[in-house]
Structure 1
Amino acid sequence: MGFENNSCTTLIFTYGTLKQGFSNHVLLQDLIRTGDAVFKGSYQTVEKYPLVCGPYRVPFLLHIPGSGHRVTGELYAVSARGLSRVDELEGTSKGHYERRPILLMRAGSGNREEEEEEVPTCAAEAYYAHKNFEKEMWMKNGRKGFSVYSEKESKGYVKRKDRPQNLSFLDHVQIFISSPSA
């Protein structure tokens, strides 16, 4: 497989706060330092997916293929130990996100003239919004997503420790999707 570290076998597509320059990237920096993660490059989704913001400008990829845009993010290979730490951050056991397969291609490799078939694709996994609230999240965002979570979209992001502690993240999600749209 040509990994620098053979234990890093799971490919994770990051599209939000885990990317370089964003608040949760420190986790991946830790994992890279301990040999539990390897940066593989900038990738984008082969299919279009909605990428939207929820409460506190938290980004969510929604498992609604064909809607939204091709999303650009970063690909990391992580070890089993690294994966469990990312799963914990993403709240997979709490119903915040679900880790599911996604098909990617290198960012910038899909030229118009090129035949689609010639672009090498790679299968990875991404953290999608939990299916319990993805449809509502799409509606709440006016069925508009963006192609990259950039500085602009992350403005107003509130770190977990700075959010009201008396409510769970799912409470925040429910309040967000049930509040009247501005």
Structure 2
Amino acid sequence: MVLTKVKMSELDVEVAGGKLDLIYTYGTLKKGFPNHHVLEDMIGKNDAVFRGSCMTIEQYPLVCGLYGVPYMIHLPGSGNRIKGELYGVTSRGLPQLDELEGLTMKHYERHRVRVAMEEGSAEELEAEAYFAHGSYGEALWKKRGQLGMSEYRLEDALDYMKMEQRAQYKSVVHELFEFVGSAPTNSGD
């Protein structure tokens, strides 16, 4: 394995691929939350590095859906500025996050987001975040009364149910469509 030194502002790190994609996390991947072990494993393999706590520059809706799963919805200007964490992830680590977030199932989709690092820093960075898929995101926001959170907290995570604990006979995406009261469009999936 070849380690490459990468400079991310004032933070020097050695990673296994060289180039890092900045990934903004706001939910179960954060430190102390149910899926953080995925990032811990990636950090242990030099496929990710913690960059710091941050907050979105723009406002977005953040709501909990079925099973206590948090969803940031791609409706810039609605909701709140969202507190989260920033990670640098290698090209080898990114597919692991995409799989966890169900990109191929259209559970989440990645969009660009601008974030400000916390702790008095004026630094703004562009990263990618996992948003509720556009096929149901806005309906979920409306179902939740267009009332969102500014942070997914440990108290919110108490309602989180891991994938293996959920009903296995349905996809989470179809359950979301049932929850928001609309049918998915059949696009050949």
Determine if the TM-score, normalized by the shorter chain, exceeds 0.5.
yes
Structure 1 CA distance for aligned equivalents of residues 178 and 158 of structure 2: 20
- Deviation of the 1:99 alpha carbon: 0.7
Alignment pair present for 1:133 and 2:136:
yes
Q: How many correspondences in the alignment?
A: 171
Q: CA deviation at 1:176?
A: 1.7
Letter in 1 for 2:33: F
The AA in structure 1 aligned to 2:13 is E
Look up the match of 2:177: 174
Task: Measure the CA separation in 2 of the matches of 1:17 and 1:39.
Answer: 15
CA shift for structure 1 position 108: 4.8
Supply the distance in 2 between the matched residues of 1:141 and 1:155 (Cα, whole angstroms): 18
- 1:8 & 1:38 partners in 2: Cα distance? 12
RMSD: 1.5
Q: How does 1:89-104 map to 2 (within 5 A)?
A: 89-104=100-115
Q: Which of 33, 37, 56 is equivalent to 1:26?
A: 37
Higher relative contact order (CA 8 A, sep 6+): 1
Judging changes above 3 Å, is the alpha-carbon distance between structure 1 residues 150 and 17 closer, same or farther for their aligned structure 2 residues?
A: same
Q: Indicate the SS of the match to 2:14.
A: coil
Shift of 1:153: 1.7
Matched with 1:165 is 168
CA distance in 1, matches of 2:70, 2:93: 21
Moved over 4 A (4+): none
Please name the residue that 2:14 is paired with: 5
Tell me the amino acid that sits aligned with residue 58 of structure 2. Answer: E
Give 1 or 2: higher strand fraction: 2
Shift of 1:154: 1.8
Check if 1:146 corresponds to 2:149: yes
SS of residue matched to 1:43: strand
- C-alpha displacement of 1:174: 1.3
Partner of 1:123: 126
Q: Indicate the residue corresponding to 1:55 in structure 2.
A: 66
Cα distance, 1:120 vs structure 2: 2.5
Instruction: Give unmatched runs, 5+ long, in structure 2.
Output: 1-5, 183-189
Query: TM-score when scaled to structure 1?
Result: 0.90
| Stretch moving more, 6-15 or 32-41 | 6-15
| 1:36-47 equivalence runs, <5 A | 36-47=47-58
Judge conservation of contact 2:34–2:157 (CA < 8 Å) in 1: no
Compute the TM-score of the two structures, normalised by the length of structure 2. Answer: 0.86
Is 1:72 the counterpart of 2:75 in the alignment? no
Give ranges in structure 1 of 5+ residues lacking alignment: 111-118
Are the equivalent residues in 1 in contact too, given 2:107–2:132 (CA < 8 A)?
Answer: yes
